[in-house]
Structure formats: C-alpha cells, structure tokens
Amino acid sequence: MKLELGYIQIKDIVFGNESKISNGVLTVDKAPIEALAKEDERIKSVTLDIAKPGESVRITPVKDVIEPRCKVEGDCDIFPGTIGSVKMAGFGKTHVCKGMAVVTAGKIVGFQEGIIDMQGPGADYTPFSKLLNLVCVFEPVDGLKQHDYEEAVRFAGFKIAKYIGELSKDVKPDTTETFEVCNFKENMEKFKGLPRVGYVHMLQSQGLLHDTYVYGVDAKKILPTLMYPTEVFDGAIVSGNCVSACDKNPTYVHMNNPVVVDLFKQHGKTINFCAHIITNENVYLADKQRSSNFTAKLCEMLALDAVIITEEGFGNPDADLIMNCTKIEKKGIKTVLVTDEYAGRDGGSQSLADADPLGNACVTAGNANEVIVLPKLDKVIGTLDYVNKIAGGNENSMRADGTIEIEIQAITGATSEVGFGKLTATY
C-alpha cells in the first residue's frame, strides 16, 4: 500500500466572497459552509470565526479538531464510510491543508469537552494553539437530545473539512511525503533480519458519547483487526467521543497519528513495521477479555517481536491496556505502553487504575490532574458557561477577575496518549 501526501502550507485564513486557496492564503466564503451545516435540520445555525496563533483568544467548549484533506488520486474518499464511500482508503495521492484545522464547538454535550487557548500558558499545553483555526460554533434546534446534537455536529465538521480540503485539489503541494508498506509476506522477505514491530491502537468505545468510528462503524462493534497504517491518513478512523479533553484523540490526531508516522520513519531501517492492529475499549469484563484475547492472538499469528500499545481515556480503559500488555508479553512479545496519568493534584496518587509488573516499559504523556491558572483573554469563541462543569473544572474554576483555575485535563490535547504533544517522562 503506497500513499503520497502533498502538503499545502496554509499561511493565513481570511473571510471573503469566494472560497479558494491562493499563495498559501485560504479565503473562506461563509455562505456555502453555513449551507452545508444547515443541510442537517438538527442544526439551527453555525457561526464562523478565525483563531490564529498568538491571539488573545479562547475557544470552548471544543468538540473536535479536523484537518482538511482531499483525494487527488485513488479510487477512494476522505472520511470513508463516514461521509464518503466505504471503499478502502490509504493509497494514491492525498492533499493536506497543513498548518490549519476546522474546530467544532457549541453548547456542551458530554461535560468532557475542552479549551484551546491561542496564547498564554494554556496555549503551551495544546498542540492546536499552533494552528490557524477555522472555528464553527453550532447552535442546535430547541429540544434536541445530546446524542443527536453530537452526531449532527460531528457530521457537519467532516463535511466542512472536506469542503475546505477540496479547495486544495488543483494546488501544487509545497512538499510531499510518501508512505509505503508491503503485505506481511513481502515485508518478511524484504526486511529479513529486522525486528518485526506492530502497533496496537486502542480506540475509545465505551459508549455514552465515548465513541470512535472506523469506516463509519462504531468501534465497540468490532473485533480487533488489521489495517494498513496508511488508512488513517485518509480519515478511516474518526472521533465521536467526549472523553476528557486532555487525552481525547480528535480526528486531527487520528489523521496525523505520531506513532504511525514515527514507525514509518524507522521502517526498513531499524525495524520492520508490519502490523497496525486496531482494538476497542470495552465496559464489561467479558468484552475486555474477548478483545484482548484477539489482540494477543493477532500479534502471535504475525510473529511480532515487539509492539507499541496506546490507549485513549483513563480509568476503565486502563484495564484494557494492561490486559493487552500482559497477554501479549506472555506470548513472548515485548511491549511498550503509551498512556497518561491521573495521579492527583500533588502527583501522589496511583497513576493508572490497573498495573502489572509485565508493563515495565511505559511512556507517560503527563499528569492530567496538574492545576493551571489560565489568564483572562480578550475574546471567547463559544461560551464560558460550562467552564465550572467540564472535566478538570470545579464550582470555583471561573474566577471573578476572569481567570480560570483548572486542571490541564480540560485543555484539548494536553496529555495526548499517542504522544501528540510535548509532555512526557519515561520509566
């Protein structure tokens, strides 16, 4: 499977009477985007705004962050099975609007939606403060149930990102990057002698607004399976969940999964990257056991030497993480775990809800309970009405002087469990 990504660097976003990309500037006509959003009768209105790095701007509550992309070669679609056909993705040529994102926001859905600050200490914790953000604030029709509201906003965000991405179709990329991986037999022959390494990619799927979708299928309904790692670059995996903002993987992160990117960089050099295994995170014990059994079986069948395992969320999913770790280790396959911690504000509590001596190689993305004071910023896109209620906040978080005392749990992407950030420590 071979995929070429062509990066079009977006240097600025402005509103105008015509949507286009010219000389690195994205001009956005609001009217067609508003029309796209209102195709769904559940959305009353959408307000568009722009947030740029370094501006005194706060975006909240953030639902998803999406990178606009466009297929320019290959018989498949962006966001396959979600808003595109269910044809297999991950090959051909894809254009990427680099340096920007579509951010969806609006009334709170699941009390675990986050904050993106474009300047100040909060901006240092979120990778999305470095992007030019086209922010879409959605207003639902009166009386709409929260699950329907989440779904409407999710689909609208993907449609808007696809619309923006298609503006890049005839633009010459500034740079290109090629990702290629053979089938398992060819990999074994071509890279004989290199350690066979896989990636066990745990997807949030606990339900009750804790959902991830694979080719449009709710991940809680899948058994662990194999993907070509290039498929994620075309949006085969998308977010639909409201886990704590700090370790939620927005769709942008799935499309730029750094574990996949880094394994590709070493492929054929120090390792043979030969398996991308996706699995889910379940609520009931029997489901956890089933999925971890299948995951370990796949690793064994593929004769892997080592795997990297990442999770999404905390608490209950920690049990899935450790089950995957221990069962794979007992197959004689080395594991490295990537997670974050909820160790209390003083860092003195147990970091994970489960643990095992076999999980002795672990990378942490930071302690989500760390407290930060966010300064008052000049502009809010969205609303501050829910700051005291979101995960990481409390009844006193919103101060009278406009500052916010809150755990970094509330900052979107602060402790990314696939390493899409800068907080880390190793043991």
Position 111 pLDDT exceeds 80:
no
Position 421 pLDDT exceeds 90:
no
Per mean pLDDT, which range of 54-58, 131-135, 190-194 is the poorest? 190-194
Position 398 pLDDT exceeds 80:
yes
Mean pLDDT calculated for residue range 25-47: 96
Average pLDDT, whole number, for the chain? Answer: 95
Q: Which helix (H) or strand (E) holds 130?
A: none
How do beta strands 362-367 and 425-426 pair? Answer: antiparallel
Instruction: Name the active-site residue from 182, 242, 325, 362.
Output: 242
Across 236-325, where does the E strand assignment appear?
237-239, 272-280, 306-310
Looking at residue 242, what is its pLDDT?
Answer: 80
Q: How far is CA 118 from CA 43, 91, 128, 143, 246, in A?
A: 27, 34, 8, 32, 16
Position 112 pLDDT exceeds 80:
no
Mean pLDDT calculated for residue range 63-73: 97
Looking at residue 109, what is its pLDDT?
Answer: 80
Question: How far is residue 221's CA from residue 278's CA, in Å, rounded to a whole number?
Answer: 12
Mean pLDDT calculated for residue range 373-394: 94
Mean pLDDT calculated for residue range 259-268: 96
Q: Which helix (H) or strand (E) holds 321?
A: helix 316-329
Among 105-109, 242-246, 359-363, the range with the most confident prediction by mean pLDDT is 359-363
Looking at residue 422, what is its pLDDT?
Answer: 77
Q: Is residue 97 annotated as part of the catalytic site, yes or no?
A: no
Question: How far is residue 291's CA from residue 299's CA, in Å, rounded to a whole number?
Answer: 12
Mean pLDDT calculated for residue range 179-186: 90
Looking at residue 209, what is its pLDDT?
Answer: 84
Question: How far is residue 281's CA from residue 204's CA, in Å, rounded to a whole number?
Answer: 5
Give 30's pLDDT tier (boundaries 50, 70, 90). very high
Looking at residue 382, what is its pLDDT?
Answer: 96
Contacts 24+ apart (CB under 8 A), 260-268: 260/199, 260/229, 260/232, 260/233, 263/197, 263/199, 263/229, 263/308, 264/179, 264/181, 264/229, 267/181, 267/191, 268/190, 268/191, 268/194
- What's this model's pTM, rounded to 2 decimal places? 0.96
Give 19's pLDDT tier (boundaries 50, 70, 90). very high
Position 424 pLDDT exceeds 70:
no
Mean pLDDT calculated for residue range 222-249: 94
Structure-block tokens of residue 349: 């509590």
Looking at per-residue confidence, does 395 or 427 come out higher? 395
Instruction: Give SS3 for 48.
Output: strand
Looking at per-residue confidence, does 242 or 104 come out higher? 104
Angle between helical axes of 146-166 and 30-37 (0-180°, round to 10): 140
Task: Encode pLDDT of 132-160 as tens digits.
Answer: 999 999 999 999 998 999 999 999 999 99
Position 362 pLDDT exceeds 70:
yes
Per the CB < 8 A criterion, the answer to whether 307 and 200 are in contact is yes
